[in-house]
Structure 1
Amino acid sequence: MLGGLATLAALLASAAVALESTETARGGPATADRSPGEHWSPGGHRSTGEPRSTRSELPPGGNSPRATSEAGTPSPSASKPTHAAIRSTGPGTFATAPGQSGATGEGRVLRYKVEVEDGISASAADVAAQVERILADPRGWTAHGGPAFRRVSSGTVDFAVKLATPGTVDRICGQYGLDTGGEVNCDVGGQVMVNLRRWLLATPVYASDVDSYRALIINHEVGHFLGHGHEGCPGVGSPAPVMMQQIKGMHGCTPNVWPFTAEGRAITGPHVP
């Protein structure tokens, strides 16, 4: 009798071991390889129990998934310098872009030069090429018999476009009583002072289209040189006048960087004192 009971107990123990081994192989509730707090989700996949919306989805290296394209190449936002990385001040001396351009426009020819402050990485020739394209655009100030523009590198000029560090812009604009606060541009004494931060970073509205914002900078400040004052938004949904201080808000207007439409209609708004 005792021998029979011992045999029965041994058989039951063997069956329990076999059952546990089967459950482990199926990915069931065995806990030997799970960390504390981990549970099994449907299908046997592990989950920490942490809501997905609060988990970091960053790829290896900690880069935001929005910083690279699907093909793995850097997007424009990934290569754009940060506010802190841009040099805050410079020596106040400038290199003039070499060469010259033909006159664009039918009105009185205004001669200008393009200068870039020493010590910053921007190429004077590249900046000059962009300024030339902006001032020659048919939607620009040359429309409807406006002035013509010719870039030169020597001789007398009517105005100069100067790309400079925020500190240098502040110093030059401040000499004329303007406070640019390290952030904005100005037109003073025949000098269109372009803040390096705005040239590289634009503003939140134009962050994905920096080239367009550069057109706004040039057209706005050259507009001041030509005698145009500030304007406001003419109405919700209307294109913002180029003489509107768009950096201070769009006020219901849509982004626009040109004084005229492609059809030659002036884009204007109410005068702002």
Structure 2
Amino acid sequence: MRHAKKPSARRRRPRARSRSRSRSRGTRLLGLLALTVITLLTLLMIYGYEGTAGPSGEARGATREPGMSAAPKSPEPTSPPKRKGKAPASHSPGPTSGPGTFDTAAASGASVGTGTIRRYKVQVEQGTGISAEAAAKEIDAILGDPRGWTANGRDGFRLIASGPYDFEVKIATPDTVDRICGAAGLHTRGEVNCDVGDQVIVNLKRWNTGSPQFAGPLHEYRALIVNHEVGHRIGHGHETCPGPGRPAPAMMQQIDGLKGCRANAWPYDEHGTYLGGPSVP
């Protein structure tokens, strides 16, 4: 019976070396894989948080989504969520009536213009949903605009919160406007504004919605309201359209139709030219 020969030590060594080389290669592969993972994590940490806020709280950029290029893009404008069954707040006419009591804006400003400086307060009827301070800021900007009445070099204004005043600008509900203006014999019909006594009375509906005859932004129509009524206060009467295609005078009753003129909120243009028209008796 023949016995199998035992493998010599010389044959066993190469197998041992082969297993050693396999372990070495496996270790290197694991090391390379770990290094790759660490590198990827490092890159993600560096580039994945571009949109986080800096120390001042301002965003540094937009976080890139997978598949987007690294080039920065301007943010796309987003629309506010639509309210179902309700018009936007800025175009809601607001309440028709109110309590007839007013909040006075706790705001004041520097004098604007030269000549006769008239001090005025801003008041808003309670329950209208309008901030008296915000309204005062807007009216102050209107009266201080270089296209306003200060361009004549004779009239100036100063917003005050308390103390003696020359007139008040009051934003009131249509019913309250009718009551105050009607007491002076003026018929505002729940629709328009008036200047009576020491008061400029602004109809809340007009302040919130503008006019169908005025094809401009709401803040421009608010400027027309203020410029028209304050124009009466400083001595200007009504005017009419000076000609087709020309700017309608601020002292024109534009809510009744433009008669061929273009809607315009300002008594002067940017060059200081008066945008007037023929007087209306």
Tell me if the contact between 1:140 and 1:219 (Cα under 8 Å) persists in the aligned partners: yes
Residue 181, structure 1, aligned to residue 213, structure 2: no
Q: How far did 1:73 drift? A: 3.6
Q: Which residue of structure 2 lines up, in the alignment, with residue 193 of structure 1? A: 201
Q: Which residue of structure 2 lines up, in the alignment, with residue 100 of structure 1? A: 108
* CA distance in 1: counterparts of 2:90 and 2:273, whole angstroms: 36
* CA distance in 1: counterparts of 2:261 and 2:203, whole angstroms: 24
* CA distance in 2: counterparts of 1:98 and 1:71, whole angstroms: 34
The one-letter amino acid of 1:222's match is V
Secondary structure of 2:124's partner? Answer: strand
Equivalences, count: 203
Q: Which residue of structure 2 lines up, in the alignment, with residue 158 of structure 1? A: 166
Q: How far did 1:99 drift? A: 2.6
Q: How far did 1:263 drift? A: 0.2
Tell me if the contact between 2:194 and 2:200 (Cα under 8 Å) persists in the aligned partners: yes
Q: Which residue of structure 2 lines up, in the alignment, with residue 146 of structure 1? A: 154
Tell me if the contact between 2:120 and 2:158 (Cα under 8 Å) persists in the aligned partners: yes
Q: Deviations over 1:74-104 (max 9, x none)?
A: 68x9514666x62111111111000311100
Tell me if the contact between 1:201 and 1:207 (Cα under 8 Å) persists in the aligned partners: no
Q: Deviations over 1:39-75 (max 9, x none)?
A: xxxxxxxxxxxxxxxxxxxxxxxxxxxxxxx955468
Q: Which residue of structure 2 lines up, in the alignment, with residue 267 of structure 1? A: 275
Tell me if the contact between 1:240 and 1:255 (Cα under 8 Å) persists in the aligned partners: yes
Q: Which residue of structure 2 lines up, in the alignment, with residue 90 of structure 1? A: 98
Q: Who wins on radius of gyration, i.e. which is larger?
A: 2
Residue 249, structure 1, aligned to residue 257, structure 2: yes
Q: Which residue of structure 1 lines up, in the alignment, with residue 88 of structure 2? A: 79
Tell me if the contact between 2:108 and 2:160 (Cα under 8 Å) persists in the aligned partners: yes
Superposed CA RMSD in Å reads: 2.0
* CA distance in 2: counterparts of 1:72 and 1:150, whole angstroms: 38
* CA distance in 1: counterparts of 2:242 and 2:187, whole angstroms: 27
Q: Percent identical across equivalent pairs?
A: 53
Q: Which residue of structure 2 lines up, in the alignment, with residue 109 of structure 1? A: 117
Secondary structure of 1:252's partner? Answer: coil
TM-score, with length taken from structure 2: 0.69
* CA distance in 2: counterparts of 1:139 and 1:156, whole angstroms: 27
Secondary structure of 1:206's partner? Answer: coil
Q: Unpaired segments of 5 or more residues in structure 1?
A: 1-69
Secondary structure of 2:112's partner? Answer: coil
* CA distance in 2: counterparts of 1:146 and 1:122, whole angstroms: 32
Tell me if the contact between 2:107 and 2:136 (Cα under 8 Å) persists in the aligned partners: no
Q: Which residue of structure 2 lines up, in the alignment, with residue 39 of structure 1? A: none
* CA distance in 2: counterparts of 1:174 and 1:183, whole angstroms: 13
Q: Deviations over 1:84-142 (max 9, x none)?
A: x6211111111100031110011111000000001110000000000000000010000
* CA distance in 2: counterparts of 1:272 and 1:147, whole angstroms: 23
Q: Deviations over 1:201-225 (max 9, x none)?
A: 0011336511000000000000011
Residue 210, structure 1, aligned to residue 218, structure 2: yes
Residue 128, structure 1, aligned to residue 136, structure 2: yes
Q: How far did 1:144 drift? A: 2.8
The one-letter amino acid of 2:235's match is G
* CA distance in 2: counterparts of 1:226 and 1:203, whole angstroms: 24
